[in-house]
Amino acid sequence: MGDLLVNKVVLVTGASGGIGREAAKVFASNGAKVVAAARRESDLAKTVSQIEQVGGTATYVQTDVTIPEQVDRAVQHAVSTFGSLDGAFNNAGILEEEVEFHDLSDETFDQVMNINVRGVYLCMKREIDVMRDQGHGSIVNDSSYNGKYGHARHAAYTASKHAVLGLTRSVAKNYAQSNIRINAVCPGPVETDMARILENDDERNRTRLQRWIPMGRYGNPEEIGNLAAFLLSDQSSWITGQAYSIDGGATA
């Protein structure tokens, strides 16, 4: 147990599994009151249960981040339940199947951009509305190492994660003097279901990816949560508009 986020209320999107679930658990273990948001209600309930089993405090609200009314409801749920919204980890996102660009469908491109970019845009707008009134807040957006570099067979995902960094940097400048900080984390391959899409169900791809990472392994979701917890905390009080790679040295 740490104390980085004691008495802070933190909203986590995409909290039904993967990085979102483990980050929510890290935040709670550091004293945060966590609001878990995602589309899959049964998995959200599991996230909250796992937090409560170790003495943490959490609640959940079923949320589709592409629907403004549902994002409004999630933010208001945080405020009505715990009295404030001090931080947010905008983590909800999807990765399309590996495909050559000329085979990428318009529907897939639109879906990826809708969730990964529009979702972050909508969440930040609603979160900042509350944080401006409070006079403080910290937001961490989940981008990717593909937010900094291209990927030949994941064009939609890569474009979306570049856009997340553009939003992060631009909005951070906008609200720097409002005591609202906005940063991004850029994970490399992490042990989640999304990694299996990245591997294209081929163990040889996993081996190749691990060799590409100087530390020789995938990241663990809680490691991403640890970095996000620091960026949400007062320990990072002079950091805003930054994009932090966390990838075992892959992009060094």
pLDDT of residue 1: 67
H helical segments located in the chain: 18-29, 41-53, 68-82, 106-113, 119-134, 155-175, 193-199, 203-212, 221-232
CA distances from 202 to 207, 212, 227 (A): 9, 16, 30
Radius of gyration of the chain (CA): 17
Output the CA angle 239-216-246, nearest 5 degrees.
10
- In this structure, the dihedral spanned by the alpha carbons of residues 175, 90, 147 and 250, taken in order and rounded to 10 degrees, is 120
Give the whole-angstrom CA distance, residue 208 versus residue 74. 40
pTM of the prediction?
0.97
CA separation for the pair 158, 181 (Å, rounded): 24
Which are the catalytic amino acids?
157
- For the chain, domains (ranges, CATH) are 9-246 (3.40.50.720)
C-alpha span between 189 and 111 (Å, rounded):
22
pLDDT tens-digit profile, the chain (252 residues): 689 999 999 999 999 999 999 999 999 999 999 999 999 999 999 999 999 999 999 999 999 999 999 999 999 999 999 999 999 999 999 999 999 999 999 999 999 999 999 999 999 999 999 999 999 999 999 999 999 999 999 999 999 999 999 999 999 999 999 999 999 999 999 999 877 776 666 778 788 889 999 999 999 999 999 999 999 999 999 999 999 999 999 999
